[in-house]
């Protein structure tokens, strides 16, 4: 059974004790030393790096088992640096600036009732501090099969890393193929003998972003003479925006997964990590990034999409909902019926029109239909047998709301978050 790691963040009560703060600095130094040693000697084995880290930890008087974790963190930083180097020689050697400590289960004790954490710092020296524990934390920790794996402490918060086993993905009886756009997910639901166009609108995310762009401009103008204050205020605006967007996306991804579970449906999405590469096979795992053009990088960094996909992926894994990642290469300019590709440079308006067979469809829906087509082509004889994409049955007039069940059916957990941001398509404009 695959295991899932999940972070459970806690706010601190009061500042951390000075002894712990200096340990965070030493720990950061240790990780950087591991990185430097690994890069200069070319060593990659866990054994030799952990021996090196243990020696250094002895000199810094850090608890020995901290050294083991520090060497693993250092090595993983080096590994991703080497991976980046293969793609572009411009990758800078990693250097950790923020002080932190990552402690193994054996070196700390956490009391979920009182929120008290005891942590081993140096030989014979322990410290304790307090975190805020909410009902949500207790519920998460109390769930079946959850194990506390590690504790991550930085000057402003503490994070428990939890490990639990993921359920095996269920065998889907339908497919939900969606293209991710700025303000909606658009595509098609495919069940035996039935195809419908579907869309999930989240206009609020774009509205929040627009509002914050406006506010940031205003702030930047107003505080133009005081760079220091201006920068701090801008930073706070950015964090607020991120939190607001993120909580909307959480509500969205949670209900999407609940819907998929309810309908025994697999989900197909475009694999943003593979944009711009013409390899066409869909896959059950996302691939690490490939070199990208500048315009493509800008599009990808409109981060809500990746954040949304990240949330959908981990929530799906937790609930056993199978996910397929389709290469989005040309999905919005390919005709799903005859396979004709509009020349990449020719502008595609809001409606895709096939020059070959005169197929017509909303461009975003068309991309979703193509994602469904790719996944069914690759998996239609295997896990997705019995599902067929019937293009002639699709009609934009008969578009289905994606959430045809009420939340009172017992499938939703408590927190109905008030506003329903993805009702039927008729709601697209609200918000």
Residues lying near Zn ion in the complex (CB under 5 A): 335, 337-338, 340, 354, 356-357, 359
CB distance 266 to 321 below 8 Å:
yes
Nearer to Zn ion (CB atom), residue 4 or residue 391: 391
- Whichever of 206 and 337 has its CB closer to Zn ion, that residue is 337
The token pair that represents 183 in the structure block: 């303000």
Angle CA(64)–CA(149)–CA(116) in degrees, nearest 5? 85
In whole angstroms, the minimum distance from the beta carbon of 353 to Zn ion comes to: 9
Smallest distance, Zn ion to C-beta of residue 376, A = 18
- Shortest approach of Zn ion to residue 176 CB, angstroms? 24
d(CA 160, CA 147): 10
- From first CA to last CA, the distance across the chain in angstroms is 42
Phi and psi angles of residue 353, each rounded to the nearest 5 degrees, phi first: -125, 120
Minimum distance between the CB of residue 364 and Zn ion, rounded to whole angstroms?
Answer: 17
For Zn ion, give the closer residue by CB, 333 or 354.
354
C-beta of 338: minimal distance to Zn ion in Å? Answer: 3
What's the closest the beta carbon of residue 402 comes to Zn ion, in angstroms?
Answer: 26
Asked whether the beta carbons of 362 and 350 are under 8 A apart, the reply is yes
Is the distance from CB of 368 to CB of 313 less than 8 angstroms?
no
Cα–Cα distance, 75 to 33 (Å, whole number): 11
Smallest distance, Zn ion to C-beta of residue 378, A = 21
Beta strands 101-104 and 147-154 are antiparallel
Comparison of 109 and 337: residue with beta carbon closer to Zn ion: 337
Other beta carbons within 10 angstroms of residue 152's beta carbon come to 16
Q: How far apart are CA 358 and CA 263, in angstroms?
A: 33
328 and 308 Cβ atoms separated by less than 8 Å: no
In this complex, which beta carbon is closest to Zn ion, that of residue 235 or of residue 355? 355
Smaller CB separation from Zn ion, 213 or 338: 338
DSSP 170: P
Q: Which of 392, 259, 272 is nearest to 336 (CA)?
A: 392
Minimum distance from residue 308 beta carbon to Zn ion (Å): 30
Q: Which is nearer to Zn ion, 263 or 342 (CB)?
A: 342
Q: How far is the CB of 370 from Zn ion (least distance, A)?
A: 11
Nearest-CA neighbor of 356 among 333, 332, 331?
333
Neighbours of 315 (CB within 10 A): 19
Which of residues 178 and 335 has its CB atom nearest to Zn ion in the complex? 335
> Is the distance from CB of 74 to CB of 35 less than 8 angstroms?
yes
Nearer to Zn ion, 337 or 400 (CB): 337
CB of 357 to Zn ion, least distance (A): 3
What is the Cα–Cα distance from 364 to 4, expressed in whole angstroms? 33
State how far the Cα of 367 lies from the Cα of 330, in Å rounded to an integer.
8
Q: Which is nearer to Zn ion, 240 or 358 (CB)?
A: 358
Q: Exposed, middle or buried, 371 (CB in 10 Å: 0-12/13-18/19+)?
A: buried
Judged by beta carbon, residue 237 or residue 340, the one nearer Zn ion is 340
Give the number of C-alpha atoms closer than 13 A to the C-alpha of residue 320, restricted to the C-beta side: 13
- Smallest gap, in angstroms, from Cβ of residue 394 to Zn ion? 14
């Amino acid at each position: 059974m695959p295991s899932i790691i999940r972070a459970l963040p806690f706010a601190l009560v009061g500042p951390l004790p000075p002894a712990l703060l200096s340990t965070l600095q030493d720990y950061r130094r240790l990780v950087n030393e591991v990185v430097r040693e690994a890069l200069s000697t070319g060593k990659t084995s866990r054994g030799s790096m952990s021996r090196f880290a243990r020696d250094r930890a002895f000199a810094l008087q850090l608890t020995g088992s901290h050294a083991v974790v520090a060497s693993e963190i250092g090595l993983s930083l080096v590994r991703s640096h080497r991976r980046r180097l293969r793609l572009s020689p411009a990758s800078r050697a990693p250097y950790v600036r923020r002080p932190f400590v990552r402690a193994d289960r054996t070196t700390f004790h956490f009391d979920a009732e009182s929120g008290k954490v005891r942590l081993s710092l140096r030989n014979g020296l322990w410290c304790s501090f307090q975190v805020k524990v909410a009902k949500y934390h207790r519920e998460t920790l109390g769930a079946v099969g959850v194990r506390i794996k590690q504790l991550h402490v930085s000057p402003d918060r503490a994070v428990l890393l939890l490990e639990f086993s993921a359920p095996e993905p269920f065998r889907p009886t339908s497919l939900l193929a969606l293209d991710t756009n700025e303000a909606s997910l658009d595509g098609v639901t495919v069940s035996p003998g039935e195809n419908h166009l579907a869309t999930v609108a989240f206009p609020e995310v774009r509205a929040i972003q627009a509002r914050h762009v406006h506010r940031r401009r205003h702030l930047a103008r107003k505080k133009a003479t005081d760079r220091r204050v201006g920068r701090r205020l801008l930073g706070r605006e950015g964090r607020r925006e991120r939190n607001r967007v993120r909580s909307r996306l959480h509500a969205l991804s949670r209900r999407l997964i609940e819907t998929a579970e309810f309908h025994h449906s697999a989900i197909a999405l475009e694999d943003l990590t593979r944009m711009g590469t013409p390899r066409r096979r869909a896959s059950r795992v996302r691939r690490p990034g490939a070199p990208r053009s500048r315009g493509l990088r800008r599009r990808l960094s409109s981060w809500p999409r990746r954040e949304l996909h990240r949330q959908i992926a981990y929530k799906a894994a937790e609930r056993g909902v199978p996910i397929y990642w389709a290469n989005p290469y040309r999905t919005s300019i390919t005709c799903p019926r005859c396979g004709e590709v509009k020349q990449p440079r020719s502008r595609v308006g809001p409606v895709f029109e096939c020059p070959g067979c005169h197929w017509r469809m909303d461009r975003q829906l068309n991309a979703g239909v193509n994602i469904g087509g790719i996944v069914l082509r690759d998996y239609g004889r295997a896990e997705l047998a019995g599902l067929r994409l019937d293009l002639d049955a699709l009609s934009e007039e008969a578009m289905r709301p994606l959430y045809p069940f009420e939340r009172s059916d017992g499938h939703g957990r408590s927190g109905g978050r008030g506003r329903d941001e993805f009702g039927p398509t008729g709601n697209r404009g609200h918000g």
